[in-house]
Chain A
Amino acid sequence: MRFLPAGDLAVCVELGEEISVEVNTRVRALEFLIQQKGLTGVLEMVPAYSSLLVYYDPRAVAYEPLCAAIAELAPQATTAVLPPARTVELPCCYDDPALGFELEAAARRLGLSTDELVRLHAGAEYLVYFIGFTPGLPYMTGMPARIDIPRLDTPRTKTPPGSVGIGGIQCCIYSVESPGGFWILGRTPVALYAPDASEPTLLRPGDRVRFRRIDRAEFDAISAAVAARTYRPVIA
């Protein structure tokens, strides 16, 4: 574990230097423990793959004592302390090239049929390592190794919200229109970020995500329900 100063209001607690479920679980468990213990001076935390950024109030706690208090909690930061994970089901339409506009190219690159790629992608369960970059955007892994694919050589400048993409061992869902380097296989009609809702973001760090394959007609029906605010995502 390393403590890296991030200015005078935050410290980056690095728990590893790899993207793995094991390291990320310790990151989320450490966040949970610090929250639960109410460590003096801690204002806010941002978990990522392998590190936790801890924002603090320097009037309430100095740097060294804060790091010492975190170091003391770290050994207990294991999966055992975390509350049970939620599982969120996201409908995803892979069947329309207007939505999954890189499905065919990705399948060709991987030497798979589009149907095999969809089956492999939709058949997996994903872990939300953390949320970041744009509001509500999940960084997930859990894909079968067979669909590990390098990111796009030239990132596109605009990716529609809801686009489900893969790159490397990661899967991500764009939450707002933004540039992107992932291969887009399909789109979910569910809003990951809805600024007008009372809870604007849907996913949380540590959530499990499953995709349910839907056709274009169901995509349109759910889109309409989302727009009318009558759609309730399936969360177990």
Chain B
Amino acid sequence: MIRILDPGPQTTVQDLGRTGQMRYGIPPSGPVDRVAFVLANRLVGNPDTAAALECTLLGPRFEVDAPGAIAVTGADMPVTVNGREASRWATINVKPGDVVKLGAARAGVRSYVAVSGGLDVPLVLGSRSTYLRGRLGGVEGRALRKGDELRVFAAGDVRPRRVEPRAIPDYAGVAPVRVVLGPQADRFTGDGIRALLEGPYQVLPQSDRMGARLSGPRVEHARGHDIISDGIALGSIQVPGDGQPIVLLVDRQSTGGYTKVATVCSCDVGRVGQARPGQSLRFHSIDVVEAHRLRHESDAVLGAAVREEIA
């Protein structure tokens, strides 16, 4: 069990998300930064699907009541155990009574805390993920509060592991975000598409797990901003009448009636979700075949990212 002493502004339980519910209007939820989430689980010997914490901007403080391991990945939040600094992107062994604290993020927005065994909250529609707007899943469909006690599934011993430095994402980096144009790129003017691909766009503070709201050059529509409502994919860049893009994330609405100029590639969606308010983003257009190649490459990096430490 872990006991929440201080929850931080928005700490939720997430697993890899729900499938099959979007046709009923329920989004997948799950971690905004899937790669960081999966790595946290692998560092403590969990399956990728185990439930862990997603912490936003400022981490929680919690007490551990059993021996085990934890790992912290994602946004650069300083970690201490009983006041002593501990490594991120690495297995941390803990014993009963240890108090773990995550500080304020210095880069990125969301960090992940995995606990060996995985968090034991009820499965709702096949997933432990919290969907805050729908009050569904996780702990009573809400963010964690002071005093919450989360059960943890039993786990064996974990040999210390570490994420290879080259596999650790650079959240403050300026590498362009890759997008595939469409599904409604033909509803924008040539100048509108050029504006999108030249940028830059600043992330606005109103961004959340539903979408990253951006501000920058106007993405001009060719003929109106409304379409017959259709499904919204992960990373869709929706452009309402004001020409300012919104990148839709894991808690997105399942369908919508605004034009979508492009879709952020799955390997870069986490980086968009980790961009801090005020941080700049630039977009670069590629085709679907290239996007798949990048995805396979990023899966390969992920597959080789965790190494056991040599004593």
Contact = CB atoms under 8 A, between A and B. Distances in A.
Nearest to B269: A7
B141 A5 contact: no
A48 B184 CA distance: 15
B228 A17 contact: yes
A44 interface: yes
Nearest to A7: B263
Interface in B1-43: 19-20, 22-26
Nearest to B263: A7
B233 A130 contact: no
Contacts of B294: 8
Query: By DSSP majority rule, is chain B's interface helix, strand, loop, or mixed?
Result: mixed
Contacts of A133: 25, 229, 253-256
Interface residues of B, number: 47
B23 A46 contact: yes
A139 interface: yes
B266 A9 contact: yes
Contact of A44 (B22, B181, B288, B296): B22
Interface string A168-206: 000000011000000000000000010100001100110
Given A44-B19, A50-B228, A195-B134, A10 B234 contact: yes
B25 A6 contact: no
A131 B183 contact: no
B184 A131 contact: no
A165 to B, nearest CB: 15
Given A55-B233, A130-B255, A132-B229, A4 B183 contact: yes
A136 B183 contact: no
A137 B25 contact: yes
A18 interface: yes
A7 B292 contact: no
A7 to B, nearest CB: 3
Contact of A131 (B25, B265, B292, B299): B25
Given A6-B263, A193-B134, A44 B230 contact: no
Interface string B163-201: 000000000000000011111100000000000000000
B245 interface: no
A51 interface: yes
Query: By DSSP majority rule, is chain A's interface helix, strand, loop, or mixed?
Result: loop
Contacts of B296: 58-59
B86 interface: no
Nearest to B185: A4
B125 interface: yes
Contacts of B265: 7-8
Contact of B23 (A12, A45, A176): A45
A7 B24 contact: no
* Residue among B23, B260, B296 facing the most chain A CB atoms (10 A cut-off): B23
A9 B291 CA distance: 9
A14 B26 CA distance: 22
21 contacts: A4-B182, A4-B184, A5-B181, A5-B183, A6-B231, A6-B236, A7-B180, A7-B266, A8-B292, A10-B263, A19-B228, A46-B255, A48-B231, A53-B232, A59-B296, A132-B231, A135-B25, A176-B133, A176-B134, A200-B134, A200-B136
Given A18-B228, A53-B231, 13 more contacts: A5-B181, A5-B263, A7-B264, A7-B291, A44-B20, A45-B23, A49-B228, A50-B228, A55-B22, A130-B23, A134-B134, A195-B136, A200-B125
Interface of A: 4-10, 12, 14, 17-19, 31, 43-53, 55, 58-59, 62-63, 130-137, 139, 175-176, 193, 195, 200-201, 204-205
